[in-house]
Amino acid sequence: MLAPLKWIRNYVDIDTDVKQLADMMTMTGSKVEAVKLPGEGLKNVAVGKIERIEQHPNADKLVICQVNVGSETLQIVTGAKNVCEGDYVPVALDGAVLAGGLKIKTGKLRGELSQGMLCSAQELGIPEHMIEECKRNGIYIIDWEDKLSEGDIAGKDALEFLGINDAVIEFEITSNRPDCLSMLGIAREVAATTGKAMKYPKIEVAEKGGQISFNIDIESDELCPRYAARIVKDIVIKPSPYWMQRSLIEAGMRPINNIVDITNYVMLETGQPLHAFDRDKVSGDTIIVRKAMNGERLVTLDDKDRELEDDMLVIADREKGLALAGVMGGANSEIDATTTTILIESANFAKDSIRATSKKLGLRSEASSRFEKGIDLERVELALNRAAQLIEETESGIVLSGYADNYKNRAEQKTISVSAERINKLLGEDIQPSEMVKMLEKLEFKCSLDGNTIHIAVPSFRLDMDIDADVVEEIARMYGYDNISSKMIHGTTTMGLKTIGQRFEDSIKDALTGMGVNEILTYSFVSPKGVGKINLPETSIKNNFMKLLNPLGEETSVMRTTLVPNIMEVISTNYSKKVEEFFGFELGNTFATADGAVPVEKKSLCIGIYSKDSDFFVLKGVVEGLFEKIGLTKYEITPEKHHPTFHPGRCANVLFGSYTIGTFGELHPDVLDNYGIKERVYIAELDFELMLALSRDAKTYSPLPKYPSIERDIAIVVDESVFVKQIEDIIRENSQGLARSFKLFDVYRGEQVKEGSKSVAYTIVYRSDEKTLTDEEVEKVHSKIVKEIEARLDAKLRD
């Protein structure tokens, strides 16, 4: 925010050097971005009065001006077309320095003496876009009537006379301090920083017109807690006084006309945006504050026809919308040269509503930038009366008596109590409670001291004050951050260690990377279409997405419920780039939700592979190798024939008792078609939380065997539908603790085995920890195993 120092001087006496003041303000929390000196480097420029203009004898486009500069009359040659006799203009005298370092000397132009130069706004360092259009092209004509008190002004120092000899300070205003988006707010901070008294403008409105007859109907109190309006008649549209124009220019706004300039001036002074309607363009005697009707249209002051939504706030009369509340006025109620009566609006709007409207329409204004940060409710009346006062003082119109003010739910004053001991403990200082009170009172807090406790009444303009920590911050900045002594941190320290879950993640990653599977990372924001691409039905729980409120697009509009679509996108990209094989995994979060339930964040592991040598059993081996590494045992792998994502007959579930740890297998051909892949792909998705809960990281060691082992081979012919797991379960159950290991070494299908059957061959190792087994002892156990397999699986011992 730009704060002209001469404007701030209206409210507080400043006797400090501007650069020192900037440093002091920064140290008390009002960060200064830059100090600008508009007139810096300019010198020897005076106010001149053009007494006579004659045509240049040797040049059709030049004229010779006789210019009175007080002590003498100078002859100056110029090509400007906008000067007239009697005009007051800035004159660069011999030896003058102008903006950009331009130096002026007496010389001749086409044979005629020129003893200086008439100056344009740019040559005085005034940006062209900041001045009235009538002054942009040519010499800068001085509006002297409102500056002239006694005698002529010719010969005066033009820089001082035009008010461009004082500094402009640019402040960085944080979003929590909207009260500082005003000259009064900055002045309060200057007064508190320098220890000077604050001088508020004395506001008195003569109200020479008749009684106001006007109503305000607020339909959405939550979006507009207060709305006030005044009516001014006999409006005279004219340029605003020079002091006002100059103040607006230095604050970064362009003067337009007296009415617009007054509303802008008051907004910059108080922080409360105002808007003026042409009263004759407002139908009826009631202003209505309502939500827009869906599809309602309004042409705003920038001549753009905008379609409104039903959550946007509109200022309207009985027939039409007049303005977008807090953002921009409508063209249908704009003030123009024919305006004779105006209605001035001063209101307070909900910051969230203004921010949302401004964002949806891509329309941001000085008013909306203030409303969206929050504005003091009590400032509405102050700003309205200040505008009325300035209209009267500038003879711009006659203010009617009274004003309408709809303010139903008055804001309660906030109070905060805080212990001085707590403040000192947090700051590491020893400040007396009475000194703290003085600091806070400089900032216009009303305080009372009760022993060691400070009770604080917060002024209405300090919307950022809510808790005791806010008070600590105020004390710290007023005490001076540079005065707070530096101290070494003390206290007990603890060693940073990874959690059990983090160490478990590391073990999974180590195991998989050790098997040649690479880790990948993908976004948690996904497209809702991904679940459909892996063939899951609409009724699947995986379609219960958490939707983002402000997505970047459809492709990143929801949070993922499964990792399979993510890894398939990576596989699809690799396949399309002719990568011959892919072994990858992702360990990431998924986000599940149900109707009305709180969303649940869970971590999942997804493994994906494809290559010419890979099949279902390669992926099975990866999963089993992972489980062995993390200490997950006693799990079962059972066939899964109905999962829509996977190929029927080539898919399995991993079970642990009644828990399903995950699913793995070959993807369904329809899924592969959805991703444009013409090669078999194998995917496993496992529940990280279950694996963590069921795994055991304790290692059990046993001594080397003392007694020899005996091996027996067995070949069994069973039906094709029998799983080897069924055979292995029978071996375990009937080994009487002697079968220390068994290994499948052959599965045969061929001429020697009837069709629909297969031969399964195992090597079983028998051993006892207590003695050397005899052949008879081993044969007894071995025979029992064979008989159980034959009985329970309708098997036959192969010849």
Express each pLDDT in 427-473 by its tens digit: 989 999 999 999 999 999 999 999 899 999 999 999 999 999 999 99
Q: Select from 302, 300, 383, 299 the least CA-distant residue to 345.
A: 383
The CA distance from 489 to 798, in Å, is 80
Split at pLDDT 50, 70, 90, the class of 515 is very high
- CA distances 794 to 675, 726, 728, Å, are 44, 12, 15
Q: In a 10 Å sphere around its CB, with 0-12 CB exposed, 13-18 middle and 19+ buried, how is residue 335 labelled? A: buried
Please indicate if the annotation marks 746 as binding a ligand: no
The CA distance from 308 to 656, in Å, is 57
pLDDT surpassing 80 at residue 405: yes
The CA distance from 294 to 20, in Å, is 54
Report the relative pairing of strands 168-171 and 32-36 from DSSP bridges: antiparallel
pLDDT surpassing 90 at residue 327: yes
Mean pLDDT of the chain: 91
Please indicate if the annotation marks 755 as binding a ligand: no
Helix (H) or strand (E) holding 609: strand 600-610
Q: Select from 769, 760, 750 the least CA-distant residue to 730.
A: 760
Question: What pLDDT, on the 0 to 100 scale, is given for residue 750?
Answer: 87
The CA distance from 30 to 43, in Å, is 32
Please indicate if the annotation marks 307 as binding a ligand: no
Looking at per-residue confidence, does 98 or 211 come out higher?
98
φ/ψ of residue 623, rounded to 5: -65, -45
Looking at per-residue confidence, does 799 or 524 come out higher?
524
Helix (H/G/I), strand (E/B), else coil: 2: strand
pLDDT surpassing 80 at residue 143: no
Residue-wise pLDDT tens digits, 459-511: 999 999 999 999 999 999 999 988 888 877 777 778 889 999 999 999 999 99
AA letter at 82: N
DSSP string, 493-517: -------HHHHHHHHHHHHHHHTTP
DSSP 8-state symbol, 377: T
Q: Within 406-551, where are the H helices?
A: 420-427, 433-442, 468-479, 500-514, 529-533
% pLDDT > 90, the chain? 73
What b/e sequence results for 112-121 when a residue is b if at least 16 CB atoms lie within 10 Å of its CB, and e otherwise? Answer: bebbbbbbbb
Helix (H) or strand (E) holding 157: none
Helix (H/G/I), strand (E/B), else coil: 441: helix
Give, to the nearest 10 degrees, the angle between helix 724-734 and helix 775-793. Answer: 140
Triad 155, 160, 163: Cα angle to 5°: 130
What is the set of domains in the chain, with CATH numbers?
A: 2-38+166-194 (3.30.56.10), 43-161 (2.40.50.140), 215-406 (3.50.40.10), 415-483 (3.30.56.10), 500-694 (3.30.930.10), 710-797 (3.30.70.380)
The CA distance from 683 to 260, in Å, is 68
Question: What pLDDT, on the 0 to 100 scale, is given for residue 699?
Answer: 76
Task: Region of 578 please: left (phi>0), alpha (psi -120 to 50) or beta.
Answer: left
AA letter at 267: M
Question: What pLDDT, on the 0 to 100 scale, is given for residue 150?
Answer: 42
The CA distance from 375 to 224, in Å, is 12
- Asked if residues 164 and 126 have their Cβ atoms less than 8 Å apart, the reply is yes
- Arithmetic mean of pLDDT, 774-792: 92
Split at pLDDT 50, 70, 90, the class of 390 is very high
Question: What pLDDT, on the 0 to 100 scale, is given for residue 595?
Answer: 64
Helix (H) or strand (E) holding 572: helix 564-576
- CA distances 584 to 92, 619, 683, 690, 726, Å, are 76, 11, 10, 21, 32
% pLDDT > 70, the chain? 98
- Arithmetic mean of pLDDT, 383-387: 96
Residue-wise pLDDT tens digits, 526-536: 999 999 999 99
Q: Select from 135, 118, 28, 120 the least CA-distant residue to 78.
A: 118
The CA distance from 349 to 357, in Å, is 12
| Cα dihedral 107, 110, 111, 114 sign | negative
Split at pLDDT 50, 70, 90, the class of 145 is low
DSSP 8-state symbol, 103: B
Please indicate if the annotation marks 204 as binding a ligand: no
Helix (H) or strand (E) holding 194: helix 183-194
Lowest-confidence range among 143-147, 213-217, 418-422, 527-531? 143-147
Question: How is residue 19 written in tokens?
Answer: 């650069």
Split at pLDDT 50, 70, 90, the class of 725 is confident
- Asked if residues 324 and 357 have their Cβ atoms less than 8 Å apart, the reply is yes
Question: How is residue 282 written in tokens?
Answer: 């407002």
The CA distance from 113 to 136, in Å, is 27
φ/ψ of residue 113, rounded to 5: -65, 135
pLDDT surpassing 50 at residue 149: no
- For the entire predicted model, the pTM comes to 0.64
pLDDT surpassing 60 at residue 596: no
Looking at per-residue confidence, does 235 or 161 come out higher?
235
Q: Find how far residue 369's CA is from the centre of its chain.
A: 15
What b/e sequence results for 254-263 when a residue is b if at least 16 CB atoms lie within 10 Å of its CB, and e otherwise? Answer: bbbbbbbbbb
Task: Region of 303 please: left (phi>0), alpha (psi -120 to 50) or beta.
Answer: left
Split at pLDDT 50, 70, 90, the class of 179 is very high
Question: What pLDDT, on the 0 to 100 scale, is given for residue 144?
Answer: 63
- Arithmetic mean of pLDDT, 629-654: 92
Question: What pLDDT, on the 0 to 100 scale, is given for residue 700?
Answer: 78
Triad 417, 418, 420: Cα angle to 5°: 140
- Asked if residues 197 and 11 have their Cβ atoms less than 8 Å apart, the reply is no
Which residues are registered as beta bridge partners of 744?
762
